[in-house]
Amino acid sequence: MLIFITNLPQFLIRHDYNTVIIFLTLIITCFLLLLYMFIMTKASCKVYMIDFACYKPPVSQQFSKGFLLKQAKTNGCFSEETLDFVEKTMEKSCLGDSTYLAEVFLGKTYNPSIRDSRREVEMAVFGSIDMVLAKTCIRSQDIGIVITNCCIYNTVPSLSTIIVNRYKLPESVISYNLTGMGCSAGLLAIGLAKQLLQVHRNSYALIVSTESVTENSYTGKDRSKSITNCLFRVGGAAILLSNRPSDRRIAKYRLLHVVNTNTASSDRSYNCIVREEDKEGIVGITINKDLLFAAITTVKPNITTLGRLILPMTEKLHYLINSIGRKHFPTLKIQPFVPNYTKGVDHFLPHVGGKQVLEELQKTLGFSGTVMEASRMTLHRYGNTSSSSIWYELAYVEAKGRVKKGDRVWQIAFGSGFKCCSVIWSALKTVDHDDKNPWMDEIDGASYTLMGAFVFG
């Protein structure tokens, strides 16, 4: 470039006037185009997770499996056949005897009201928000974005509006309320927050994930609708994100990647989890035999796309060579190559949809029992808390002191639709113990690790 500029006068002398004009026009046009691209293209904001908090219900809401079965028999809504199915399902679920349910289940009869549902949700939502604000020392008036997700419970005003009113957020706050999006909605909300933080500079985003079980217990005879009664429990989480460069020094994690996959165009995926009425008009959530097919069909392309972003080059090349070999030499019957994802991440935190789901993921990805410990212990201790379950898992590995500076954390969640979302975080520091961590009262006992090994083999 320097040589060209030096010789520019000689170039102008040697060529005719029209050639020089055309040449200079091209140069000026290219320069203006580059200048325009530089001015108009803004650098992508870095998104930080300052902290998060998980709601831990009071001890009075702990229910053993035996107590739940007793309540179900006392209620009188279920047939002996259904009760037998529920009992066997709960025995195989790997849920412990300390999971939490809503207060409405304490009574002799199940007769929930809107007030009961609202109380359950507000306890989880306000409890987790209060904790995350206390942990971060961020003023509620500084929050510019609020995103809430609750799959089944849909109140008026919306849950996000309830939060704005409770914490007196500014009039300029941007709020979204996601409903009906299943257990993957929590990570989908992270992706939405990321997009909004690219536009609204110097902002804080509050994401709240929860679910309501108060009005959504199925009391009919359809087995496929009784599964949710056995797995879903009370829980909630609040996450505070920021795009302020100055917050990097206080943040726990930096958001690296968000990968979404949606296979709702397939009828089998679309219909595998549906909220509907049974033959007697009783509403429940149907989970049919296509669930495993939908999960595999949706999760596979999601982790394949993610692998291109996080795996080292050696794993990518191995996968490419294997794919070419299987495609062009089918007679050799080459087995598909499964990349070693532990080379790309340090912590794997999948949604605790159930024991079978976790076992299939472990088998498919080849993860060790230690890697799966957080998800299995979350299932055992808290059950399936829908979109918030992945945050109880992250709280578990933090309480164990396993998150070190530079570690990569992979959260993956899937749900009705069928949808799958993966999020990758990078730890900005070694995480210290936190007295507001929901595991702190019980994490020191070695029995938890031993219990996990015993229960899950």
Torsion, Cα 158 159 163 168, to 10 degrees, reads 0
**What pTM was computed for the model?**
0.87
pLDDT value, residue 331: 83
Q: Specify whether the CB–CB gap between 438 and 395 falls below 8 A.
A: yes
All residue ranges of the chain with pLDDT < 70 are 1-24, 35-44, 76, 445-457
Query: Of 71, 98, 355, 349, nearest to 227 (Cα)?
Result: 355
Cβ atoms of 270 and 198 closer than 8 Å: no
**270, 272, 275, 277 alpha-carbon torsion, rounded to 10°:** 120
Distance CA 417, CA 263 (A): 7
Do 388 and 235 meet the contact criterion of CB atoms below 8 Å apart?
yes
Pull the structure tokens for residue 145.
């974005």
Looking at residue 232, the DSSP 8-state letter turns out to be B
Distance CA 371, CA 366 (A): 10
- What pLDDT is attached to residue 27? 77
> 170 Cβ partners below 8 Å, 6+ apart?
141, 143, 144
| Phi and psi at residue 281, to the nearest 5° | 85, 10
d(C-alpha 191, C-alpha 7), whole Å: 52
Q: Cβ neighbours of residue 157 under 8 Å, at least 6 residues apart?
A: 165
Give the contacts of 211 (CB within 8 A, at least 6 positions apart).
Answer: 150, 151, 152, 153, 232, 235, 236, 385, 386, 387, 388
Cα–Cα distance between 350 and 340 in angstroms, integer?
16
Handedness of CA 298, 276, 216, 159 (dihedral sign): positive
User: What pLDDT was estimated at residue 40?
Assistant: 47
Place of tokens 């002398």: 13
Q: What is the DSSP letter of 370?
A: T
Nearest to 390 by CA among 382, 370, 178: 382
Tallying the residues shown for the chain, one arrives at 457
Q: Token pair of 332, please?
A: 């050799």
Look up residue 272 and give its amino acid: C
